[in-house]
Amino acid sequence: MNIRESELPGIGKKFEVFTKNKDKMVIIIHDNGRRELYYFEQDNYEDYVASAAFDDAEARQIAAIIGGMTYKPRALETIEIAFDELVIEWFKVERSAKAANQSIGQLNVRQSFDVNIIAIVKKNHQVIHTPGPETIIEEGDTLIVSGERTQVKNMVKELLAGRGS
């Protein structure tokens, strides 16, 4: 599969997807969250033959279906055994959360919860990949974390949820 990404100034991003079967799809993600999907026949990449538009919630629901979150093909069952409890999830740091204004090192996330923070999306949309122990977590940041399901849940409850939640 080949994917080409391009900016659409004032609109959002465009992704052209060419599958190994030579199908072409174009996905446009608007800055307001709207998604458009266009499908082209193999012998004519200029004129689309089908299209659909989705709001953000619909697009995420469809992504979950395509990604196998609602149905697991039998062929993937053996792969999932190795990753049965491993999850990668996104969580927003709530107001008055224990983690707010603390560094990853101060919170001792890896040692206390056996969870890794693999990225942080700051409020200004800056992305910090593989943040170090000195990285400060702020209210409103979105943390991308990986670990076993129960450990991630415990870390979120103790560190990211607002006090009194």
Rounded distance between C-alpha atoms, residue 106 and residue 108, angstroms: 5
Q: What is the pLDDT of residue 95?
A: 83
Count of other CB atoms within 10 angstroms of residue 99: 26
What is the longest distance spanned by two Cα atoms in the chain?
59
Q: What is the pLDDT of residue 7?
A: 94
Q: How confident is the model at residue 77 (pLDDT cuts 50, 70, 90)?
A: very low
Summarize the confidence of residues 73-93 as an average pLDDT.
64
Greatest mean pLDDT among 6-15, 38-47, 151-160: 6-15
How distant is the alpha carbon of residue 11 from its chain centre? 21
Q: What is the pLDDT of residue 78?
A: 43
Q: Which range has the worst mean pLDDT, 82-91, 120-129, 141-150, 151-160?
A: 82-91
**Model confidence at 72: pLDDT above 80:** no
Rounded distance between C-alpha atoms, residue 47 and residue 19, angstroms: 17
Q: Mapped to the 3 state alphabet, what secondary structure does 61-99 carry?
A: HHHHHHCCCCCCCHHHHHHHHHCCCEEEEEEECCCCECC
Residue bearing the bigger pLDDT, 81 or 97: 97
Q: Taking the domains of the chain in order of start, what are their residue ranges? A: 2-76, 86-160
> CATH assignment of 86-160?
3.30.70.1450
How distant is the alpha carbon of residue 4 from its chain centre? 19
Instruction: Note the pLDDT tens digit of each residue in 134-165.
Output: 999 999 898 988 888 889 889 988 998 876 54
SS3 75: helix
Count of other CB atoms within 10 angstroms of residue 100: 19
Q: What is the pLDDT of residue 83?
A: 61
